Amino acid sequence: MQVTYDFSGKSVLLIGGTTGIGRATANAFAKAGANLFVAGLGAAQGASLKDEIKAMKKGDVEFAEVDVRDAKAMADLHKRAFERFGRIDVAFNNAGVPGKTAPVQDLDEDDFSLLIDVNLKGIFLGLKHQVPHMIAHGGGAIVNTSSLFGVMGFATTAVYCASKWGVIGLTNSVALEVARKNIRVNAIAPGSVMTPLDRHVRQRTERQGHGLADDPDGADQRPLGDRATRAVPVVGRRVVHHRTGRGHRRRRIRRGGRRVGANLKRRARWRRPGSRLWRGPP
């Protein structure tokens, strides 16, 4: 039996919601009764998503186009979302691009900048505005999208992996900064999910002769609506109030999910003088 959650009266800001996991997650939040402010690229896709959610006749929904690399645009987006709903209870920073798939020596500075600016800087700009808003309103939950490639390396995706590893580090660090402010910050690290982005990467790498035959999740590529999508409302829900600073990894169905970045308590003990795990200052 699939567990459902009630987000009636809650407001969610979802950045990167026009396609793939973001769009499916927007629908999941809408079905749970949340008010949604969705942002992303693609006016036509945003309009169709808005119509889908309005047809459910549950919470309110707004859509705005935004380029997450643009600091002013991100500031304006958050101001508009805060004014529209008054308070944002959950923020989902999901915008991302696959970038160029090639050996590192075949990449140039523009390839590097695109991946880092969208996949990492975009989440930083989101956190920059979401954290003070949630502090002022007594708390909240933030979920960032990393990737299975954010906890492992993979040939021909060096910069993409670096950007997603950065998301995990950013998430863990900010979680420690705001843990006493009643704000939880977590990341999801999905494996292969049948999204337009994933299909695009696979087709391009196959054309280039690199292939993804060694992809540990290739054989278990899952449709949208599976755990990678359901994880966001679950992590954003108060029921997991004890979890923060973690990357929630979704890999093979038969193996189940394994949390990445857990054991923060043990790490904290090892840093505390007098603890049996204390190893001296770093």
Q: How confident is the model at residue 174 (pLDDT cuts 50, 70, 90)?
A: very high
Rounded to the nearest angstrom, the gap between the alpha carbon of residue 50 and the centroid of all alpha carbons in its chain is 21
- On whether residue 282 sits in a domain, the answer given is no
Q: For 2-33, how does the pLDDT look when each residue is reduced to its tens digit (9 = 90+)?
A: 667 899 999 999 999 999 999 999 999 999 99
pTM for the model stands at 0.76
| CATH number reported for the structural domain that contains residue 16 in this entry | 3.40.50.720
- The rounded distance, in Å, linking the Cα atoms of 209 and 133 is 47
Q: What is the largest CA-CA distance in the chain?
A: 59
First vs last Cα of the chain: how many Å apart? Answer: 47
Report if residue 277 sits inside a domain. no
- Domain limits at 257? 11-271
* pLDDT score recorded for residue 235: 64
Domain count for the chain: 1
Which among 160, 201, 227, 230 is annotated as catalytic?
160
Positive or negative, the CA dihedral 120, 65, 92, 126 is positive
Q: Which of 103, 101, 141, 124 is nearest to 233 (CA)?
A: 141
Classify residue 281: in a domain, yes or no.
Answer: no
For residue 280, tell me if it sits in a domain. no
276 in any annotated domain: no
Q: What is the pLDDT of residues 233-268, one digit of tens each?
A: 766 665 455 567 666 554 432 333 334 344 444 444
Give the pLDDT confidence of 125-167 residue by residue, as tens digits: 999 999 999 999 999 999 999 999 999 999 999 999 999 999 9
- Per-residue pLDDT band at 194 (split at 50, 70, 90): low
Is-catalytic flag, 160?
A: yes
Residue 200 lies inside a defined structural domain of this protein:
yes
Average pLDDT over residues 94-121: 97
Domain membership flag for residue 109: yes
Each as own residue / partner, the long-range contacts of residues 258-262 (CB below 8 Å, 24 or more positions apart, any chain) are 260/151, 260/168, 260/189, 261/168, 261/171, 261/172, 261/187
pLDDT at 214: 41
Domain annotation covers residue 1: no
